[in-house]
């Protein structure tokens, strides 16, 4: 039973395309996150949702739009993909406080050509 799952695992696409990454957690957590890990392995938070409500929105281009249909799902839609968007995107979840362990998904490796 996968706690936090992401699809797809790999995504190769052309510049200018629009793509979505899906995330689901079966842990009953209230809070979900999207992180971006670049080629230097720095992991940066992008968004956080608590019970379908956006609570953290870092300085991310508005081409990135998260959507949470319910508290078990947090999808990431990216418009007009650029070369610099190539990275590994991780979804995570926890119970909702910063001291609580975050559970990460396996990551989606996005390559923009």
Partner 1 sequence: LAKTTQPISMDSYEGQEVNITCSHNNIATNDYITWYQQFPSQGPRFIIQGYKTKVTNEVASLFIPADRKSSTLSLPRVSLSDTAVYYCLVGEKAAGNKLTFGGGTRVLVKP
Name, in order, each residue with C-beta under 8 angstroms of 86's C-beta and a sequence gap of 6 or more. 39, 110, 111, 112
Residue 98 sits in the site that holds partner 1 (CB under 8 A): yes
CB nearer partner 1, residue 22 or residue 79? 22
Bridge partner list, 13: 112
CB nearer partner 1, residue 49 or residue 81? 49
Applying CB under 8 A, which of residues 72, 86, 104, 111 lies at the interface with partner 1?
Answer: 104
Find the shortest distance in angstroms from Cβ 1 to partner 1.
Answer: 16
Bridge partner list, 36: 44, 89
Name, in order, each residue with C-beta under 8 angstroms of 42's C-beta and a sequence gap of 6 or more. none
68 contacts 93 by C-beta, under 8 angstroms: no
Enumerate binding residues for partner 1 (CB under 8 A). Answer: 4, 31, 33, 35, 40-45, 48, 50, 55-56, 58, 90, 92, 94, 96-99, 101-107
């Amino acid at each position: 039973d996968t706690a936090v799952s992401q699809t797809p695992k790999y995504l190769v696409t052309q510049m200018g395309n629009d793509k979505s990454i899906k995330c689901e957690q079966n842990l009953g957590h209230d809070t979900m996150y999207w992180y971006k890990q670049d080629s230097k392995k720095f992991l940066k938070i992008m968004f956080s949702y608590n019970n379908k409500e956006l609570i953290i929105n870092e300085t991310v281009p508005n081409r990135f739009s998260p959507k949470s249909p319910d508290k078990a799902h947090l999808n990431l839609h990216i418009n007009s993909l650029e070369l610099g968007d190539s990275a590994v995107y991780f979804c995570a979840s926890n119970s909702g406080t910063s001291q609580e362990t975050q559970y990460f998904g396996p990551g989606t490796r996005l390559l923009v050509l």
